[in-house]
A and B are shown apart, each in its own frame.
Chain A
Amino acid sequence: MTTARPQKLADYAPLVFPAVMLTVFFVVPFGIMVAVSFFRRVQGAFYEPDFVLANYARFLSVFFGEVLGFSLVLAALVAVVAVTIAFPFTYLLARLPRRRQVLWLVALLSIVSLSEVIVGFAWSTLFSRTAGITNVLVALGLMDEPMSLSPSFGALLTGLSYHAFPYTVLVLYPALARLDPTLMEAARTLGASPPCAFVTVVVPALRNTILATLIMVFVFALGAYLLPQLLGRPSNWTLSVLITDQAIYQSNLPFAAAMAVFLVLVSLALVGLSLLVGRKEAAQ
């Protein structure tokens, strides 16, 4: 590893490949999307190059405002639920013997390999009246008769949190594995119980990691468009679902692009805001 600052143009050479990839596969498509969002929708056909604001104007309504608000709240809730479960889980995981850690990580990676469709169908079966978990509760005498739990907001939140959980663990794992064990030992020596030491020492020590993970899960959940259709009612549909409708079923690419641009801007603003808050707190 070198800490020398780049001197010549050639020193920037290693950056060329990622820069080209980023331009070709991110900047250019995003630019096209922004351009299309200003095109003119032709009903009964497709769109024509133009510069109109109608697509954004259509979006600025109470209806879409509510859908956007719901999407943001849902994504934030998923982030909180996933991190709340994954953080203690990863902490315990990082303290297991090496061999068992590997087993857990392999299991988590195999969940990542499942497609959203399979996750959605599995949960809708688990939450069904005819074959779901309520049948187990009935057999145990805890419920009178089986009931259907899906589609509902709870089912959607569960599905999305489940889907985000392995990613959350994998993002938290390096930081928790590197955490200095003497921190805990010092806290214990000073008389703190393990849960108390975990909450007052480990969590604050990794505050920035937690914030970064929350943001990652938030953005991850914001893009969900399949699970809301499989596990949610129409009132639980996110903006991404409506974007898909416009792009694929209504052939209204300009409006879909405008909604997508709006979603990107709002989420970037929120991410920026939370980073700013995090930095301010760290400085104090």
Chain B
Amino acid sequence: MTRVTHGASRRTFLAGSAAGLAALATPSILRAADRTLKVGVYGGFFKDSFDKHIFPEFTKATGIAVESVAEPTGEAWLVQLSQAARAGVAPADVSMMSQTALLKGQAADLWGPLDLGKMKNTANLIDRFINRYPDGRVAGIGAVSWYITLVTNTNVYPEAPTSWAALWDPANKDRLGLLALVSNSFLLEVTAATFFGGTKALDDEAGQLKAFEKLAEVRPNVKLWYRDEAQFEQALKSGEIPMGQYYHDVTGLAAAEGHPVRSTFPKEGGILDSGSWAVSRASQALEEAHVFIDYMCQPQIQALMSRKVGTSPTVRRDLLDLTDAEFAAVSSDIPPIVPRYDLYLSRADWLNQKWTEMIVG
């Protein structure tokens, strides 16, 4: 669901406030101090990177000051936003939301509708990154995306695997590290894409059960079902657990630091997860929010985020000035496996129960 484990600590809050004060002290911002936008991003690495590389550029270009708010992980932020909205308050005007959280907010009509006409740059987006209410109103706009791919230790596997089917290979007994939750591992989608011709196969219960049955076959190969990213990353680097699913960007960083790890986009595609910008309906800064989201959809800003934050762009590749190497560091041209977020809403409890019984039983 969400992948960022860094909580919003007091330290990040203080750092944010200090940066805010410093920004206020510069004359160009003082003029624009009446136009401020509160933007919620995941606390920790994301917020730090945005504060450092993205928000100052935005203020320079538009004169709108950004007050960044560290979002807690999980769905706690959604709860806070919806309760505040009931009281007519918006702790943040624009927030970066995970796809499941965005859908849940939609169900409660939490997001103010966005006007694509006011945001010309949204035409740059890949279609799947525009979130719509069932009646067609726009609820969210793709902010950043990231891939979960097949990762291996290069000492143990001199040859990179080419397909997710490697997870099922009996030769990999007791060698895999996989994410422990149905809603963040997206392994049902991987199973459907690898063996049943795509995630459409998960449309009905029979298809879901078939995927569960197939997925249960990987159990003997799994050494670690992890919730904690650091635990798997450490084991992957040391070769203790030489194969598994992990984040493409972090694996790339580890490889760049000299660790014997690699991230491979299997031929069935990497898992593409993403965060979207959404505006609380209680926000008084709808105009500024549109300016902000439009700004973030520019190809050069998306390229800047790929280079500085390590996220995968949400705009079409042909518009980007990323070199092949820069693009490969964050993304791939192989069509991705897009998670079936709808299922984690309509059948959340059933899927969770089946999943837990499968891996524990």
Number of A positions contacting B (CB below 8 A): 30
Q: Is the CB of A151 closer than 8 A to any CB of chain B?
A: yes
8 Å CB contact of B228 from A230, A235, A242, A250: A230
Q: Is the CB of A121 closer than 8 A to any CB of chain B?
A: yes
Complexed CA–CA distance, A234 and B182 (Å): 14
Residue from the set A131, A233, A246, A251 with the largest chain B CB neighbour count within 10 Å: A251
Interface residues of B in 216-237 (CB under 8 A from A): 223-228, 231, 234-235
Residue pair A235, B349 in contact (C-beta under 8 Å)? no
Residues of A contacting B231 in the complex (Cβ-Cβ under 8 angstroms)? 121, 124, 230
**Taking the nearest CB of chain A, how far is it from the CB of B111, in angstroms?**
14
Known interface pairs A41-B349, A148-B240; A63-B361 also in contact (CB < 8 Å): yes
Residue pair B360, A44 in contact (C-beta under 8 Å)? no
Residues of A contacting B181 in the complex (Cβ-Cβ under 8 angstroms)? 245, 249
Residue pair A229, B360 in contact (C-beta under 8 Å)? no
For the residues of B in contact with A, the DSSP-based class is helix
8 Å CB contact of B225 from A45, A234, A242, A251: A234
Complexed CA–CA distance, A242 and B181 (Å): 11
**Taking the nearest CB of chain A, how far is it from the CB of B350, in angstroms?**
9
8 Å CB contact of A248 from B74, B228, B235, B239: B74
Complexed CA–CA distance, A37 and B169 (Å): 43
Known interface pairs A229-B227, A245-B181; A44-B104 also in contact (CB < 8 Å): yes
Q: Is the CB of B357 closer than 8 A to any CB of chain A?
A: yes
**Taking the nearest CB of chain A, how far is it from the CB of B216, in angstroms?**
12
Known interface pairs A46-B79, A129-B240; A229-B228 also in contact (CB < 8 Å): yes
Binding site for A on B (CB under 8 A): 1, 74-75, 79, 103-104, 107-108, 180-181, 183-184, 223-228, 231, 234-235, 238-240, 345-349, 352, 356-357, 359-361
Instruction: Give 22 CB contacts A-B under 8 Å.
Output: A41-B349, A43-B345, A43-B348, A44-B345, A45-B104, A45-B107, A121-B231, A121-B234, A124-B231, A129-B240, A130-B239, A130-B240, A229-B180, A229-B227, A230-B228, A233-B225, A234-B359, A245-B356, A249-B181, A249-B184, A250-B348, A252-B348
